[in-house]
Each structure stands twice: as C-alpha cells, then as structure tokens.
Amino acid sequence: MEWKDYDSATCSIARTLEVVGDRWTVLVLRDLANGVRRFDDLASHLGVARDVLTRRLNVLVDHDVVEKVPYREQGSRTRYEYRLTAAGQDLRSVLLAFREWGDQHLSGPEGPPMATVHADCGGKVHAQLVCERGHTVERGETRLVPQPGARLSA
C-alpha cells in the first residue's frame, strides 16, 4: 500500500494542525516558549487583535497545550498568565525546526535574528531526526509504516 491509499484524516499531522495550525497560534506558542506569558504582553508583542488572541489561547487551553495560571498584582483584580504544559513543551522542537528552516531559506543578508544555544556549553541547538535507537537519520532514509491507527481510504 502507498500513503495515498490511506485516509489522511487520521494523520497525526492533520490532527495537530487542527490545534496549532494557524499563524497566530504558532507565534503565541513561540512567545510562550520564550517567556512571554501575560495576555497584554502577548497582544502587544505579537500585534494581534485581542479577540484573536483570546480564541487562540482558549483552543490551546482546551487541548491542554497551555494552562492558565492566576496571578494578582497588589491593588488589581486577579488576572491570568499562560504557560506551556508538558504537551506544549513538546512543541519546542517543532518551533526550533520551523525557525531553523526560516534561518536557512528566508534570512536576509544580515543572517538569522536569533539562535538557540545550550545553556551549559553555549553550543547552538539544532533540530535533528534521530531514530529510537539513537541513529541520526538523513534525507531519504525514512519510510512510512502503517500503525494500528491508520485506516484505508473509502
């Protein structure tokens, strides 16, 4: 069987995109991963309309990618900041891969604007394909194998 013979609606990429598959959501995740957690700060940094930001955050909270944590500054009402859950933290490698692709294919003459470095040694961090046995996987060295969740197209 070939990929095209399977129902693409069961694809994990399609399911993931239902949750995180628009520009604003990915940028919200980027900012949360980089420590911007309060609604007003997110809205200001992203330049996104407040209603759009609210909808995107609600979807992320509903899917347990982000959690709302209450805080209260003295003399103010209770407000919330947003933090990545474990599921949200697992998206860091995806965000890194997106940024690396952009650095390689879309950077201007000045080069990339940011680099992610290992806090312990200062070396640049890169997204990399590695199999469960620890082998680095290069282009052309993968194949799709149907799993129990796959189903054939009707």
Structural domains present in the chain: 3-91 (1.10.10.10)
Residue-level pLDDT at 3: 80
Burial class (CB in 10 A: 0-12, 13-18, 19+), 57: buried
In whole angstroms, give the CA distance from residue 88 to residue 83.
8
Residue-level pLDDT at 2: 85
Residue-level pLDDT at 7: 86
Strand 79-84 vs strand 66-71: parallel, antiparallel, or unpaired? antiparallel
What pTM does this model have?
0.89
Q: What are the Cα distances from residue 23, in Å, to 56, 70, 133, 153?
A: 10, 26, 34, 30
Joined tokens for residue 85: 């859950």
Q: What is the largest CA-CA distance in the chain?
A: 64
Residue-level pLDDT at 17: 94
CB 154, CB 146: distance < 8 Å? no
Residue-level pLDDT at 1: 76
End-to-end CA distance of the chain: 14
What tens-digit pLDDT sequence spans the chain (154 residues)? Answer: 788 888 888 889 999 999 999 999 999 999 999 999 999 999 999 999 999 999 999 999 999 999 999 999 999 999 999 999 999 999 999 999 999 999 999 999 999 999 999 999 999 999 999 999 999 999 999 999 989 998 998 8
CB 81, CB 69: distance < 8 Å? yes
Residue-level pLDDT at 35: 96
